Amino acid sequence: MPGDPFADLIAPFSRRGVDLGLERLRSALAELGHPERRFAAVQVAGTNGKGSISTMLERIASAAGIRVGLYTSPHLLSWCERIRLPDGLISEAELRRQLEALQSLALRHDLTPFELITAAAFQAFAEADVELAVLEVGLGGRLDATTVHPDRQVLALAAIGLDHTEHLGPTLAAIAAEKAGVMHAGAIAVSGPQQPEAAAVLEREARSRSCELRWVEPLPPASAGGPVLGLRGELQRLNGAVALGSANALAERGWPITAAAIQRGLAEARWPGRLERRLHRGHPLLVDGAHNPPAAAALRRELDAEAGETAAPRRWLLGIQRHKDAPELLRMLLRPGDAVRLVPLPEHSSWTAAELQPACAAALTQGDSDLDANLDWLIGSEALPVVAGSLYLVAAVLPRLEATD
């Protein structure tokens, strides 16, 4: 992004493209003296909900008094968001120090940008005496850089859906197999309900890899005795169940996690850009990073449940990356009468309104790169307007919005 303080140290992901594999990073970490062996890990895989589950687990472990680190992707406003140490987000100065020290190593081992950031996170965790790291998978699972960690005791599995089909395969079964590739002998995997095709793959892979697979049901609402969650939305009851089940599995492995720590951690968890209410010129709007059809369907369910059957037409500000299934995303997201302004994503190839109008029942118009003008248009609807379609759009919009508190 413009003004990126690490632009001289991290090559744009678009320059290298996706290049999955484990051997480059394994060799680099060996040269570093294996920092990843100095802490245990929980790995979080899946399609939608990984970030939410990860931050819930990090908050639970912190509430339990564990020196915990958190590694997530992508970031919204700063690369530092990807690496949380026991005392908070890694500072710009510390991340720069790590990246500068790793430059020659990255060249020798031909590391991708994601592998470079992963190595920096592992090195920072080791130097901060982290005991347990929560590692969010970047893409897939079987060949994701986080999978090089040798002591992933618990594997948390978020909802699996169709996304990144160009890298993971064209079917839900193929994608589920890539996600299930994180499973290994002796680990405990925890998953909420999955689509039947994905569930069958998880069961098969767990058996073949001697990995215990535990199924959990969504948490009951707080009004029915369920825990209070710091994250909004019905989908978070599912993510919370996976986090709770994973925390219990860690407790069985000897980590000092109590029921009180779980309750506190679930309540403290925060994750920006997920059903987040903000203001533009004093007018309320919703910001959500829904960027694929399953996430779009979940967002629509949340909005419909809140508005009821008499919901007024809604305005949307959307930006959708070129490699996403935009027609299906719009089908899940929109209703007749809705109005949509499609905008280009900063530094990313995007769908246009002209391309998508034939596949969309709602009225589509093309917006330019003037986000302030686009936001002015957005707030002209009776129903709560929404910014969605890409985390890159969310990242560009959030600094322009006011907090609701």
User: What is the number of helices (H) and of strands (E) in the chain?
Assistant: 15, 14
**What pLDDT is attached to residue 280?**
95
Instruction: Determine the Cα–Cα distance for residues 312 and 383; give it in Å rounded to an integer.
Output: 6
- Over range 331-353, report the average pLDDT: 90
Spatial CB neighbours of 7, under 8 Å, sequence gap ≥ 6 = none
CATH topology of domain 13-268: UDP-N-acetylmuramoyl-L-alanine:D-glutamate ligase (3.40.1190)
pLDDT digits over 317-337, tens only?
999 999 889 999 999 999 888
What would the mean pLDDT of 198-217 be, rounded to a whole number?
98
pLDDT in tens, 16-54: 767 889 999 999 999 999 999 999 999 999 998 999 999
Mean pLDDT value of segment 186-213: 98
Gap between the Cα atoms of 45 and 35, Å rounded: 22
pLDDT value at 1 more than 60? no
Beta bridge partners of 234: none
135-150 mean pLDDT: 96
| pLDDT greater than 60 at residue 12 | yes
Q: pTM for the complete prediction?
A: 0.88
For residue 318, the model assigns a pLDDT of 96
Percentage of the residues of the chain whose pLDDT score is greater than 90: 76
Q: What angle do CA 168, 174, 176 make, to 5 degrees?
A: 90
CA atoms within 13 A of residue 371's CA, in its CB half-sphere: 17
Task: Give the pLDDT band of residue 2 (cuts 50, 70, 90).
Answer: very low
Check pLDDT > 60 for residue 227. Answer: yes
For 276-400, CATH gives 3.90.190.20
Contact 297, 388 (CB under 8 A): no
Question: What pLDDT is recorded for position 235?
Answer: 87
Domain range list for the chain: 13-268, 276-400
Rounded distance, CA 353 to CA 351, Å? Answer: 7
Q: Among the listed ranges 1-5, 167-171, 226-230, which one has the minimum average pLDDT value?
A: 1-5
Residue 316: which of 387, 374, 400 has the closest Cα? 387
Per-residue pLDDT tens over the stretch 247-281: 999 999 999 999 999 999 999 999 888 889 999 99
Query: pLDDT of 291-300, one tens digit each?
Result: 889 889 989 9
Task: Give the residue-averaged pLDDT of 121-150.
Answer: 97
Q: Other CB atoms closer than 10 Å to residue 275's CB: what's the count?
A: 22
Q: Helix, strand, coil % (nearest 5) of the chain? A: 45, 15, 40
* Cβ count near 160 (within 10 Å): 28
- Mean pLDDT value across the chain: 92
Provide mean pLDDT across the span 120-142.
97
pLDDT value, residue 362: 80
- Distance in angstroms (rounded) separating the CA atoms of residues 392 and 389: 9
| Predicted confidence (pLDDT) per residue in 143-192, tens digit | 999 999 999 999 999 999 877 778 888 899 999 999 999 999 999 999 99
Give phi and psi for 207, each to the nearest 5: -65, -45
